[in-house]
């Protein structure tokens, strides 16, 4: 009996161990199952997150592509609009520009800066300057398109002419101006002969004419915002032309001189030439350009750097010592006219726009009067500049370019005598009836007039 109980006890213990082992295995399996389930759920979450992330990236990429397409279409519309409104502005291909510049050869580079490089080359059998705008950002691309859009609509003798452009590489094709920038002429005397004082008066007047044209543009005026010597270029005859309209702004609604509301989020321009009021408030007006013009006037008179120049000229005028600060490369300044110009320049550099003179009604008339006075001085200093009497047409009282002899034996300007003979059959001088109405060219007098003109150029234009 005892042995049977022992056997049953052993069997129970064995079964208990089996049950315990089974429970332990079940627990382990449940833990493994839970771990696997957690891993599975984690994997599912990762997959879902990856899907969501991919969707966002795909959406963002698609959106960016759409925006890019819209911008590209907008740019093409601008380019098409430019070509349709300006017959003189041509679109060049990338190949044409690369061929003309020798793949942007260093030997043809004539300038460089933050905007890019400038190359001198030949396109369509004329010399041009190709300006490359670095389009590494949307701002630069917008600047390029803005400059094309503005310049393609503007044609004036004192504005640099835009001949064409290439949107693929972001380049502008300008007329080439042989004498470079006004900055080079004023501050780099080692490379250039000093500008004659008469040329300085004339260039200031020409630049003011170009500026007045921009400000008077219809229906909306244009403010240059970066008028400085580096942006004034000179052609072979030293005619001044305003260039670089990259910062130019079309003013839709003119801001009154007394108003100082903030209108520009990014102030554009160059230190020393930038309107202080615009710099402080962001408000831009046509008179904002007058500050830069005033500083340029003072530089033309003194040949000095703009830093502290306004105060220096003010003090010189107060102490009557202006002649001592005029550019010493010129020894025969007309002092009275130089002082008139200096005072005008100082008025243009008034701190507030409302205190500056009006360009059209005040500055230009004063400059015209000053230019007339200095022209008279040049003629007085060269008494031989008066043309001989027989070079003057009896009808027009002007120097003849194309002299013709009539039947009365006298010589006249061709177009003048032709117009006279359409209405009269008598001599313009003797009032006697002409034997016939025929006229013949006076070649010997024409040659003499041309020779005299050349000699006068040498006497009255020593800068050539």
Going by the annotation, the residues of the binding site are 131
What does each C-alpha distance from 196 to 251, 273, 304, 335, 432 come to in angstroms?
Answer: 36, 23, 15, 14, 50
Contact indicator for 273, 295 with CB cutoff of 8 Å: yes
d(CA 341, CA 351): 18
Catalytic residue among 226, 244, 289, 327: 226
Nearest to 297 by CA among 313, 274, 280: 313
> Cβ of 399: how many Cβ atoms within 10 Å?
16
Q: Calculate ∠ Cα 301-305-311, nearest 5°.
A: 75
> Cβ of 316: how many Cβ atoms within 10 Å?
19
Element (H, E) at 454: helix 443-460
d(CA 367, CA 364): 5
Nearest to 234 by CA among 188, 303, 192, 182: 182
253 tagged catalytic: no
Nearest to 288 by CA among 305, 304, 269, 307: 269
Contact indicator for 184, 242 with CB cutoff of 8 Å: no
Query: Quick check: bond before 219 cis, omega within 30?
Result: yes
d(CA 234, CA 158): 10
Torsion angles phi and psi, residue 22, rounded to 5: -65, -45
Torsion angles phi and psi, residue 309, rounded to 5: -70, -40
d(CA 388, CA 400): 11
Q: Is the dihedral of CA 171, 177, 179, 181 positive or negative?
A: negative
Buried b (16+ CB within 10 A) or exposed e, 47-84: eeeeeeeeeeeeeeeeeeeeeeeeeeeeeeeebeebee
> Cβ of 108: how many Cβ atoms within 10 Å?
17
Which residues belong to the annotated binding site for ATP? 131
> What are the residue numbers of the active site?
226
């Amino acid at each position: 009996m005892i042995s049977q109980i022992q056997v049953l006890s052993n069997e129970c213990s064995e079964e208990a161990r089996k049950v315990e082992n089974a429970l332990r295995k079940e627990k382990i399996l449940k833990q493994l199952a839970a771990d696997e389930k957690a891993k599975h759920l984690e994997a599912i979450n990762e997959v879902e997150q990856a899907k969501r992330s991919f969707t966002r990236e795909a959406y963002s990429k698609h959106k960016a592509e759409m925006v890019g397409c819209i911008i590209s279409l907008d740019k093409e519309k601008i380019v098409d609009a430019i070509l349709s409104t300006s017959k003189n502005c041509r679109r060049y291909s990338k190949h044409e520009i690369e061929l003309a510049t020798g793949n942007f050869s260093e030997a043809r580079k004539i300038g460089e800066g933050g905007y890019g490089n400038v190359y001198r080359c030949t396109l369509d059998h004329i010399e041009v300057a190709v300006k490359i705008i670095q389009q590494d950002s949307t701002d630069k691309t917008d600047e390029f398109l803005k400059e094309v859009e503005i310049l393609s609509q503007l044609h004036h003798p004192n504005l640099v002419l835009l001949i064409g452009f290439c949107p693929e590489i972001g380049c502008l094709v300008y007329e080439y101006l042989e004498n470079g920038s006004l900055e080079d002429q004023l501050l780099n005397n080692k490379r250039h002969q000093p500008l004659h004082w008469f040329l300085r008066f004339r260039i200031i007047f020409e630049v003011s004419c170009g500026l007045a044209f921009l400000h008077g543009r219809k229906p909306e005026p244009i403010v240059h915002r970066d008028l400085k010597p580096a942006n004034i270029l000179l052609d072979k005859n030293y005619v001044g032309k305003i260039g670089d309209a990259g910062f130019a702004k079309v003013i839709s609604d003119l801001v009154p001189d007394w108003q100082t509301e903030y209108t520009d989020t990014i102030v554009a321009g160059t230190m020393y030439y930038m309107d202080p009021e615009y710099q402080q408030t962001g408000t831009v007006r046509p008179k904002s350009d007058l500050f830069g013009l005033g500083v340029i006037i003072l530089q033309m008179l003194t040949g000095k750097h703009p830093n502290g120049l306004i105060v220096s000229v003010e003090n010189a005028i107060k102490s009557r010592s202006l002649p001592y600060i005029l550019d010493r490369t010129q020894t025969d300044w007309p002092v009275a006219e130089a002082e008139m110009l200096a005072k005008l320049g100082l008025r243009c550099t008034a701190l507030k726009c409302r205190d500056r003179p009006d360009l059209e009604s005040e500055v230009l008339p004063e400059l015209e009067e000053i230019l007339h006075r200095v022209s008279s001085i040049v003629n007085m200093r060269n008494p031989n500049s008066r043309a001989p009497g027989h070079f003057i047409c009896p009808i027009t009282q002007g120097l003849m370019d194309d002299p013709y002899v009539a039947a009365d034996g006298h010589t006249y300007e061709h177009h003048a005598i032709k117009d006279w003979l359409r209405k009269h059959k008598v001599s313009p001088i003797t009032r006697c009836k002409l034997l016939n109405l025929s006229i013949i060219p006076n070649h010997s007098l024409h040659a003499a007039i041309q020779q005299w003109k050349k000699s006068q150029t040498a006497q009255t234009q020593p800068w050539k």
